[in-house]
Structure 1
Amino acid sequence: MEKLKPKLFSVMKSYTKEQFVKDVIAGIIVAIIALPLSIALALASGVTPEKGIYTAITAGFVISFLGGSRVQIAGPTAAFATIVAGIVAKNGMDGLIIATLLAGVILILMGLFRLGNLIKFIPYTITTGFTSGIAVTILIGQIKDFMGLTIVSEEPLIETMDKLKAVFQFISTTNLQALLVGVISLLILIVWQYLPGFCK
């Protein structure tokens, strides 16, 4: 049972003021990254932005309280955006809540039965292929907002190919101001690492 005890309870016995200051700074840095990202992933998942913020904050507290490592960092992940979007489109928020609870129960059971070792049987090519597929899906899903397109659709676009088709169909609605902001932001991300000295 000692292995199942959250790390927080054993760490607090020797916790110092210096560690608290470092943890606060680390928490602020993670929040600066995680909160905007959670808003973006909420939109990509087909839900409203505040639901992304609620999820990131709640998950952060729960994971830090029940986590098994003192250096664990929790945050939103893009890997589930397309899956969540499909669940929301077909079953609504009620379906998403049920799916989330079921996923939590399954993860707890996998932990209790020590099934984490099964990951070593999944080939590296499957992992990289899955990750690359998610990257392409997210890229195509962001073209609409990058170009400021006004896409009119009777049903929410979930499938990647439907999103790509809609981009070509509504390309004439490109918002030049949105496109300019997107291009400048992208250039900053790409070029910044090559800047000399202090800027780098």
Structure 2
Amino acid sequence: MKWTGRFEGYNARALRKDLISGSIVAIVAIPLGMAFAIASGVKPEYGLYTTIVAGILVSLLGGSKFQIGGPTGAFIPILLAIVMQYGYENLLIAGLMAGVMLILMGVLRLGAL
């Protein structure tokens, strides 16, 4: 089978390198996601779930072969403020709304802004 597009020239050596680099990113991202969840005032398992799901989505839907996604500390004050004012259940709604806004910005090609 001949690969085209994103996977053109991809081979077993590249897969091995990707598995090693992905493992290193996971070793860093998983405890970091759990720590950010605790700092944001939610249970650590929420950070674990979020890190795994976000990592898979970034890998599958990312726009670059070299893209890395992981937890970001800058969101802690924002998440904590949402949890303190609106509660855990509304944190999910806020996250979904932010995701819809990001998708719309991508569809409307607002990335250049």
Give me the TM-score of the superposition, normalised by structure 2.
0.90
Where 1:116 maps in the other structure, the secondary structure is coil
RMSD: 1.4
Counterpart position of 2:48 = 53
More moved, 74-83 vs 10-19: 10-19
Counterpart selection for 2:100 from 93, 100, 105: 105
1:77 CA drift (Å): 0.2
1:11 CA drift (Å): 2.3
Q: Which has the higher helix share?
A: 1
1:87 aligns with 2:78: no
Counterpart position of 2:7 = 12
- Counterparts of 1:127-146 in structure 2 under 5 Å? none
Counterpart selection for 2:31 from 20, 25, 36: 36
Structure 2 stretches lacking a partner, 5+ long: none
1:86 CA drift (Å): 1.0
Where 2:111 maps in the other structure, the secondary structure is helix
Tell me: higher relative CO, structure 1 or 2? Use CA pairs within 8 A at least 6 residues apart.
2
Q: Distance in 2 between matches of 1:116 and 1:25?
A: 31
Give the greater-gyration-radius structure (CA). Answer: 1
Aligned residue pairs, count? 110
1:13 CA drift (Å): 4.7
Structure 1 stretches lacking a partner, 5+ long: 1-8, 119-200
Equivalent position amino acid for 1:38 in 2: G
Give me the TM-score of the superposition, normalised by structure 1.
0.52
Q: What per-residue deviation string (whole Å, max 9, x for no partner) do you get for residues 148-181 of structure 1?
A: xxxxxxxxxxxxxxxxxxxxxxxxxxxxxxxxxx
User: Identical aligned pairs, as a percentage?
Assistant: 53
Q: Distance in 1 between matches of 2:22 and 2:109?
A: 30
